[in-house]
Structure 1
Amino acid sequence: MVSLSWQRCRAILGASLPNRCLLCHQTIAAPHRGVCPTCVANSIYQSEVCLGCGKPLTIAAEYCGSCLHHRPIKVVAPASYHSMLGPLIPAIKYQAQFAALPALTAALVARIQHLVAAELLELPQVVLPVPLHRQRLAHRGYNQAWLIANTLAAQLQLPLDDKLLARTSNTPAQAQLTGKQRRQNLSGAFALTRASPYQRIALVDDVVTTGSTVNEIARLLRTSAPSIQVWCLARAEAPKIATL
């Protein structure tokens, strides 16, 4: 008898199960999987949002009035982390539940293309996934930022460089830390493996909360890259910022 690997068995089992939405539990018609188009459409931003802080905007623009003065790093996300899509992201990150990943990355691709068409965003030269420390990667078995970045690079026909950045410190998890603690936790946690040859970079992560991770990486890249943006599946806006 031919023995099947666990991964192969899981793939066969997954293909045999009904394709139901993780949110509303209704049957999903092919080619969609994981999350139905209706739930995605109801969960993504319903208006333009500031690329700096996520505040809703009445017209399409890069920044709100407050962010226009200091022009923070642009964060591109299709939805708020406080939407129905938010709980799906920790499941991807910590439990290897990837069913929602195609729908979420497709929503992010659509958001990027919308902003490019509106001339609010310029496509980068390269896509860089936020790296994991080698010990955490070995424990988890995958880097969710790499999975997202690899899909985005393929769909947008952009090169992916997963060797330029390295995580040099196996820092504690960020989830339960305050903004100040996150910044202290990540100070010196990343390094460049070589001089960066890029001027326009998109950093890719699963979610952006305080921005501590991307700001620490941007500090390393700014000398050679005047244009840095962040792509993520969702952003966790400050509680005072209402989303539409």
Structure 2
Amino acid sequence: MIDFLFLDKNTCYLCKENPISHHFLCKKCLKKLDYVANKFDINDISAHAIYYYNEEMKKLVADYKFNRNTSLAKVFASMIFDYGKVNDLFSCDYILPSPSSKKVLNKRGFDHIKMITDYFIDQIEPNYLENFRKISETKAQHKLNNEERSYNLKGAFSLDCDLKDKSILIIDDIITTGNTVKEIGKVLKEKNAREVKALAITSEHRLS
């Protein structure tokens, strides 16, 4: 697993050449990302996306998830933490990193969303929502069409506790069709959650 233990702490985590400006990236690399600070609804869930899913962001996410460049967890954590604080999204009862199945975790070697949220969970009030699980193996969403994506996730998640009057913030890396958020939100609402919101690093939604 790549973690760049010997990377100069003042050097951009992406290009590894220029000095850091913000989010552990240099000004040049930051300019390649399309900051949208977008807000949109997924059914009755208020969703936020920080960046548009352009080619540079695709490369960044892929490098993290599939090339195991885990140093980028720190980059994404900084983005989410700053956006969450500014937009008061951490005023909730629980944080829920979008879960992966055991098979995916074993193959990837790390929980890519929880690794991100672990960086700042101790700096915010809400704790993790424990015992929320992805209980079925599903096909990779990006390989399916819209209809297949919706069917693919039905019954995939489980929770064994009551959430009466509780508010939950789902955190994920990408929102595309929103089916993952919908299915997670459905389970949370069935457990009597009062409010469900979602925050993603990136999304294909550009307009509010």
Regarding TM over 0.5, the answer is yes
Q: Whose Rg is larger?
A: 1
Contact 2:138 2:153 in 1 (8 A): yes
Match of 1:45 in 2: 35
Give 1:84 deviation, angstroms. 2.8
Q: List alignment gaps of at least 5 residues for structure 1.
A: 1-6, 53-66
Q: Which amino acid aligns with 1:27?
A: N
Deviation at 1:158, TM superposition (A): 2.6
Identity %: 22
The residue correspondences of 1:26-65 to structure 2 (distance < 5 A) are: 26-29=17-20, 33=24, 35-37=25-27, 39-40=29-30, 43-45=33-35, 49=38, 51-52=39-40
Residue pair 1:77, 1:111 contacting (<8 A) in 2 also: no
Helix, strand or coil at the partner of 2:18: coil
Alignment partner, residue 138 of structure 2: 171
Greater per-residue strand proportion: 2
Count of paired positions: 207
**In structure 2, do the counterparts of structure 1 residues 174 and 39 end up closer, same or farther at CA, with 3 Å as the change threshold?**
same
Matches within 5 A, 1:62-211: 72-82=44-54, 84-116=56-88, 121=89, 123-161=91-129, 163-196=130-163, 199-211=166-178
- Return the offset for 1:106: 1.1
Whichever residue aligns with residue 140 of structure 1, its letter is: R
Question: Structure 1 residues 140 and 198, CA, compared in 2 at 3 Å: closer, same or farther?
Answer: farther
| Residue 229 of structure 1, CA deviation | 0.8
Instruction: Answer yes or no: is the 8 Å Cα contact 1:75–1:231 preserved in 2.
Output: yes
Aligned to 1:236: 204
* Root-mean-square deviation (Å): 3.0
**Deviation of 1:85 (Å):** 2.8
1:140 Cα offset (Å): 1.6
Distance in structure 2 (CA, Å) of the matches to 1:159 and 1:153: 7
What's the CA shift for 1:20?
4.5
Offset, 1:194: 2.8
Taking CA–CA contacts closer than 8 Å with sequence separation of 6 or more, which of the two structures ends up with the larger relative contact order? 2
- For the 8 Å contact 2:52–2:202, the answer to whether it is kept is yes
How many angstroms does 1:156 deviate by?
Answer: 2.5
TM-score (norm 2): 0.83
- The structure 1 segments of at least 4 consecutive aligned residues displaced by more than 4 Å after TM superposition are 16-20, 22-25, 29-32
Do the aligned partners of 1:80 and 1:86 also contact (CA within 8 Å) in 2?
Answer: no
